[in-house]
Amino acid sequence: MNIRFRIIIPLLLLSLGCATMQGIPSMLDVPPTPSMDNVPTGSSPMSGDWRADTAFGYLSFTVDPDGAKVTTAVFKVSNWTCGGTTLTTEVQSLSEWPLTDGQFAGYVNLNGSFHTMTITGAYDAASDQFTGTWEQDAHGSHCSDIWSAIPRK
C-alpha cells in the first residue's frame, strides 16, 4: 500500500469521528465585547455596557442583567507609558467580577503576567454612572488615576 494512503485514510477517519462529537465545547463561546449603546439591558439600572475614557486609552465593561457581576471587560491601551515601558494593546478579560453593593474590583494582564492593571468601580444611582480607579506598577513606578463612565441619560 502506498505510504500516502496509510497516512490519509486514518486522518480522514479521525476527522469524521471528531465532527460527530457533540460534547466538546466550542472555543468560540467568548462573550462579545461591550457595545457603546449605553442603555440598561435588564432589570438592574447597572446592567448593560459601560465605557470610560482614561489616560491609557479606554476601558469598557458589561454588567449582567441582574446587576450582580461584571461579565466581560475590554482595556484598550494606546501608546501609554508607565515606568519606562510604552504599551499599545487591546485585551478582553473573561473573568467575572462580582458586584457587591454596587462595587466591583478586578484585574487584567495587559501583556502576559508582566503588566497587571487593577481596576475598581462603584455605581452611583443618583448620577446613574460608574466611577472608579485603575492602577499599575511597572519597573518601580506606580501609575494610577480615576475614571468615570459616560453617564446615562
Q: Across residues 134-147, what is the average pLDDT?
A: 90
Model confidence pLDDT, tens digit, residues 35-55: 656 666 677 889 999 999 999
Model confidence pLDDT, tens digit, residues 78-131: 998 888 888 898 988 888 999 999 999 999 888 766 678 999 999 999 999 999
Q: Taking the domains of the chain in order of start, what are their residue ranges?
A: 25-148
pLDDT attached to residue 145: 95
Ordered DSSP codes for the chain:
--HHHHHHHHHHHHHHHHHT--SSPPTT-PPPPP-S--S--SSSTT-EEEEEE-SSEEEEEEE-TTSSEEEEEEEEEEEEEETTEEEEEEEEE---EE-BTTEEEEEEESSTTSSEEEEEEEEETTTTEEEEEEEEEETTEEEEEEEEPPPP-
Q: How many residues make up the chain in this entry?
A: 153
pLDDT attached to residue 13: 54
Contact 106, 97 (CB under 8 A): yes
pLDDT attached to residue 148: 95
pLDDT attached to residue 44: 87
Residue 49's closest CA among 122, 58, 40, 57? 40
Q: Which residue has the higher pLDDT, 149 or 4?
A: 149
Model confidence pLDDT, tens digit, residues 13-38: 555 555 454 544 444 455 566 665 66
pLDDT attached to residue 67: 93
